[in-house]
Amino acid sequence: MKTIKRNGAEEVFDLYKIIAAVKKANESGEKTYLNDEQIIHIAEYVEYKCKKLSRAVSVEEIQDMVEDQIMATGAFDLAKRYVKYRYQRSLIRKANTTDNRILTLIEGNNEDVKQENSNKNPTINSVQRDYMAGEVSKDITRRLLLPAEIVEADQEGIIHFHDTDYFAQHMHNCDLVNLEDMLQNGTVISETRIEKPHSFSTACNIATQIIAQVASNQYGGQSISLSHLAPFVQISRKKIHAEVLEEMELLECSVTEEQVEKIVEKRLRKEINRGVQTIQYQVITLMTTNGQAPFLTVFMYLNEANNETEKKDLAMIIEETLKQRYQGVMNEAGIWVTPAFPKLIYVLEEDNITEGSDYYYLTELAAKCTTKRLVPDYISEKKMKEIKEGNCFPVMGCRSALSPWKEENGDYKFYGRFNQGVVTINLVDVALSSGANPDKFWSIFDERLELCYQALMVRHKRLKGTLSDAAPILWQHGALARLAKGETIDKLLYGGYSTISLGYAGLYECTKYMTGRSHTDPEATIFALEVMKYMNVACDRWKAETSIGFGIYGAPIESTTYKFAKCLQKRFGVVSGITDKSYITNSYHVHVTEEIDAFTKLKFEAQFQSLSTGGAVSYVEVPNMQNNIPAVLQVIRFIYDNIMYAELNTKSDCCQECGFDGEILLVTDQGKLVWECPKCGNRDQDKLNVARRTCGYIGTQFWNQGRTQEIKERVLHL
């Protein structure tokens, strides 16, 4: 069994440390209160309670348990001494807590940081540099930038104030890059003017430079559309056509126009291959200033093309993108593996969803790719248009979605817009705090929503007054705007141009505690929908009062699911079916252990997705489907007809030690979940390639114990 020290380092649970601490308090005055046998009994009972939690327990949690057990013996004066001892030690630690956390992460001993982001390798210098800066930002944020009540609520797991490791800077969350504007009208990168490219391959090269620059100036996900690259295929076609004619003339060859066209298209295909490869490999190999590859989403939407010729060219780009992703990338051991990024989203529409339609072959290829590499994910044009005022557009990063917004001339605009940030409410905590009393629940809910509003306004005010000079690529050179030097970004923060997100987590546990049933039970579903609508009403009210675009966001909470679970156990103990896991359920999702088929799950979750105005994604867990593509296509067709945004989760693993190409398993060792090759028993994470859908995006650098337990307990839906 493991314990987590205050600096984040992990060590083996030591019973004798508890005994020694209690003895020290017991013997610190003139009178002793407990004998050695009683003290040992306290320590053993605490050990028993820690084992029951089935996860690594923090030192603070252990000390709380010790305190409770001393009180249970009736030794109240001893408990006072123990509390005083803890307080004195905490004062000493407060002087250099940040220093200690930085030192432990540099030495690779900080388990909290090591497992915080499943796409960052904490042993690499650039990642450590980012984490060091993050620790300083967190410290400044908690001490100087946030009101005390928000800091306290965040620490207690009542809310989660996202991305405190970047909050000290004037940075926003995620965005839809206006790649079309930057390519068509030129941009500036590192004070160098970049003109409109004269070929598809050059456009792809410039796009990767833009992606890297954008990623280094914000902390969330960014999305680009392949449709913005499609016009450059025709430019390359004309260029290649002229070159072929010139070559034929030099060779004095007599060829027909049909022959010329065949040569041109063949060379064009090769250029598309090289261009797509540039995006895939450069994005994967780029290391941005935040210590990871850019969190990039690539949007593939045929109906975004401006004309039929461009649509066919876009189809070629999509086809090549899917083929290259299906192949994967080769790791240092020479094994083809699944990369985390770029994330791919494929739009289902009338001319690619039905067998025999013009672009159905692309959907078949997408299905094949999904079964092996977990992407693409799927957006239903039909369902999205129903929800988003007749529009279909990409999410930002893994799920964050904009609300429809019109320019002065009445045209909808999505590219060049962004999200200001997120604060997530812990719905499970609201329920448990109410004691299942309905009146008390709604009263506490109001209080917590008000707290979230205050926290969100702190985020908004942190961005207000930011000069465009802070990130020229974003604010001056077209990624998000074309503001003048020295101009503030303030006008982009109002009127719904950008959004700010009220995240939520644990709807399942909240509903179960309040109703005694899963939210999939029709009687309980009513309550769950009321909770969602209540948050929407609050956001609408805030928007009317401030002219800021608030939205409800099904927060991904990759590591926060573990934080919330630990906080709930600390405050409310282990409540069967509610707090007895090391994680809580993401957003509105059906609990990972609940037996439900794929079609019922997607249909059920669709009603909650439409109420998550700020973004959400649903998934179904499937076995290896590489030999059953027709079944995958059936699920895809169901997505098109029933839900706006969904994905299929499978496994994509391998062992570098023995070459095993199958599912790497989770086993328990001293109360901790570890990954193990079922063939050779290898547990070295540096020699295992494990790709899992974390919470909308793919993780490849492993996870904390809460998320790992959630992954282990997922049931199949097909």
> From the candidates 223, 236, 419, 612, which is the catalytic residue?
419
Structure tokens at 679: 């063939």
Q: Does 135 share its domain with 161?
A: no
CA 619 to chain centre: 14
Query: Treating both helix axes as pointing N-terminal to C-terminal, what angle do 598-609 and 629-642 enclose, rounded to 10 degrees?
Result: 30
- Whether pLDDT at 116 is above 60: no
Q: Are 348 and 632 in contact (CB under 8 A)?
A: no
Neighbours of 462 (CB within 10 A): 20
Answer with the one of 621, 642, 664 that is the final residue of a domain: 621
Q: What's the pLDDT at 311?
A: 98
Establish if 634 belongs to a structural domain. Answer: no
Q: Does 426 share its domain with 375?
A: no
Q: Does 228 share its domain with 343?
A: yes
For the chain, report the end-to-end CA distance as a whole number of angstroms: 35
Is 287 a residue of the active site?
Answer: no
- Whether pLDDT at 67 is above 60: yes
Is 398 a residue of the active site?
Answer: yes
Is 396 a residue of the active site?
Answer: yes
- Of 79-88, 148-157, 175-184, 398-407, the range with the lowest mean pLDDT is 79-88
Q: Does 149 share its domain with 196?
A: no
Q: Does 40 share its domain with 147?
A: yes
Q: Does 445 share its domain with 303?
A: no
Q: Does 537 share its domain with 587?
A: yes
> From the candidates 558, 605, 676, 710, which is the catalytic residue?
558
More confident residue, 122 or 714: 714
Is 90 a residue of the active site?
Answer: no
- Whether pLDDT at 561 is above 80: yes
> From the candidates 118, 173, 223, 426, which is the catalytic residue?
173
Q: Does 587 share its domain with 439?
A: yes
> From the candidates 696, 699, 704, 706, which is the catalytic residue?
696
| 76-90 pLDDT tens trace | 778 777 777 666 666
Measured distance CA(535)–CA(612) in Å, rounded: 9
Q: What's the pLDDT at 26?
A: 81
More confident residue, 222 or 36: 222
Q: Does 290 share its domain with 199?
A: yes
Establish if 401 belongs to a structural domain. Answer: no
Is 696 a residue of the active site?
Answer: yes
> From the candidates 50, 174, 655, 695, which is the catalytic residue?
174
Q: What's the pLDDT at 250?
A: 93
> From the candidates 398, 452, 510, 535, which is the catalytic residue?
398
> From the candidates 396, 510, 567, 655, which is the catalytic residue?
396
Beta strands in 239-323 (DSSP E): 296-300
Establish if 36 belongs to a structural domain. Answer: yes
Tell whether omega for the bond before 122 is within 30 degrees of 0, i.e. cis.
no
Residues of the chain with pLDDT > 90: what percent? 66
Neighbours of 420 (CB within 10 A): 22
Establish if 638 belongs to a structural domain. Answer: no
Q: Does 373 share its domain with 424?
A: no
Is 400 a residue of the active site?
Answer: yes
The H or E element that residue 189 is part of is strand 187-189
Rounded to two decimals, the pTM is 0.85
| 511-525 pLDDT tens trace | 999 999 999 999 999
Is 173 a residue of the active site?
Answer: yes
Per-residue confidence band for 705, with pLDDT thresholds at 50, 70 and 90: confident
Which CATH number is 309's domain given? 3.20.70.20
Range of the domain at 296: 174-387
Establish if 630 belongs to a structural domain. Answer: no
Answer with the one of 127, 156, 185 that is the final residue of a domain: 156
Q: Does 378 share its domain with 527?
A: no
Rg (CA), the chain: 27
Q: Does 161 share its domain with 180?
A: no
Convert 215-252 to b/e letters by CB count within 10 Å (16 or more is b).
Answer: bebbbbbbbbbbbbbbbbbebbbebbbeebeeeeeeee
Give the DSSP per-residue string, 389-452. TT---PPBTTTB-PPP-B-TTS-B--TT-EEEEEEEEEHHHHHHHHTT-HHHHHHHHHHHHHHH
Establish if 645 belongs to a structural domain. Answer: no
Per-residue confidence band for 29, with pLDDT thresholds at 50, 70 and 90: low
Establish if 540 belongs to a structural domain. Answer: yes
Give the DSSP per-residue string, 13-27. --HHHHHHHHHHHHT
- Whether pLDDT at 381 is above 70: yes
Q: What is the tally of structural domains in the chain? A: 4
Establish if 612 belongs to a structural domain. Answer: yes
